[in-house]
Amino acid sequence: MASVPSTVAPRTFLPSIPKPRAPLHAAKSVASAARNFPRLSHNLILSGNKRAVAVNSASEEFDVISVQSEDITDQQEGVVVSRVEMEGGDGELATQVSGFGANEGLLSLEGFSSSSSSLIGSESVDMEKLIDRTINATIVLAAGTFAVTKLLTIDSDYWHGWTLYEILRYAPQHNWSAYEEALKTNPVLAKMMISGIVYSLGDWIAQCVEGKPLFEFDRARMFRSGLVGFTLHGSLSHFYYQFCEELFPYKEWWVVPAKVAFDQTAWSALWNSIYYTVVALLRLDPPMSILNELKATFFPMLTAGWKLWPFAHLITYGVIPVEQRLLWVDTIELIWVTILSTFSNEKSEARNSQSMVPSEVKSTTYVHPPEE
């Protein structure tokens, strides 16, 4: 079949064609093509595109010029133009002949491109979550395996001839003896390690309480909490409990309540502020933001501790020896760090979520342009 040249618009040939009255069968063919042309173009564009529907309705008013030529190509001009559109022909030529078609193709490709980009973005997000989950599960499995192995193999040098029952029976006792020996040789380092582990686990529990899946925790956040526990809580608590004994060297009944009151006012206020400030600095928060949020959360954090610590510290200062107090306190810290970490991170995460909104809105506007 003959095709219209792409370099010259078809309308330029119209003046050179004689214009006697067209035969009846040619007029019928042209009229039939004009009636069927909107249906054909309607099938070629996306049915859900509003712009395509509007253009399709406008195409019904297009003037069809009758010609004398017997050539079927001249009689089915609309069909030729539609095929040029389907075969990816020159968009300018299609616009000159029919007045539409090129824009319809662009709209269809735009919708396809946006859906493809959305699909690729979703797959990349799923892949990132899978990788993070795998890394977190590996960390938890490795740390748990190491801890259990160290605890169960405390007597590995003496296992010759032991039964499994004897190994499990003496392992707790010998682990406690090893801990007491570490407190005598290097008490600060032993307490730092205990606090670091407890503060990492406490932040993990806090993230799970906040709604995150078990193995989708924020590793950086958990590392920050554990680092503060290791470097500051263990060492400062070691010296604080010694200072508290020197401050209240008496043996009367009122000493224990006095120590609890001092702990839940001066020491709690100091430690909560240190933890909140250092964690925020590790997050690289602005100083003014740290100061404002510390003012807003100071009393809520302090009063939240009054619901837990006074009862626990009756045992801390009334029963537990000075050197063993941090281990008991760190056991309770698994609950307290959950509260403390939530106070420290909830506003920062809310601020990060709000900062992501403008970029998401901008991306959505670009992918799906507003309708005219």
For 315, residues 6+ apart whose C-beta sits below 8 A from its C-beta are 328
301 occurs within a structural domain: yes
What region, left, alpha or beta, does residue 267 occupy, with left being phi > 0 and alpha being psi -120 to 50 degrees? Answer: alpha
Q: Which helix (DSSP H) or strand (DSSP E) does residue 240 occupy?
A: helix 234-247
The domain tally of the chain equals: 1
The reply to whether 363 falls in a domain is no
pLDDT, residue 253, reads: 87
Q: Is the pLDDT of residue 159 over 70?
A: yes
Is residue 92 a part of any domain in this protein? no
Rounded to the nearest 10 degrees, what angle do helices 268-282 and 325-367 cross at?
40
Is 35 a domain residue? no
Q: Please state, in angstroms and as integers, the Cα–Cα distance from residue 72 to each residue in 5, 30, 61, 78, following that order.
A: 16, 10, 23, 11
Whether residue 367 has pLDDT greater than 50: no
Q: Is residue 7 part of a domain?
A: no
Residue 46: pLDDT band (50, 70, 90) is very low
State the pLDDT at residue 105: 45
Range of the structural domain that residue 305 is part of: 187-354
| pLDDT at res. 144 | 92
Q: Is residue 192 part of a domain?
A: yes
The answer to which of 213-217, 266-270, 354-358 has the lowest mean pLDDT is: 354-358
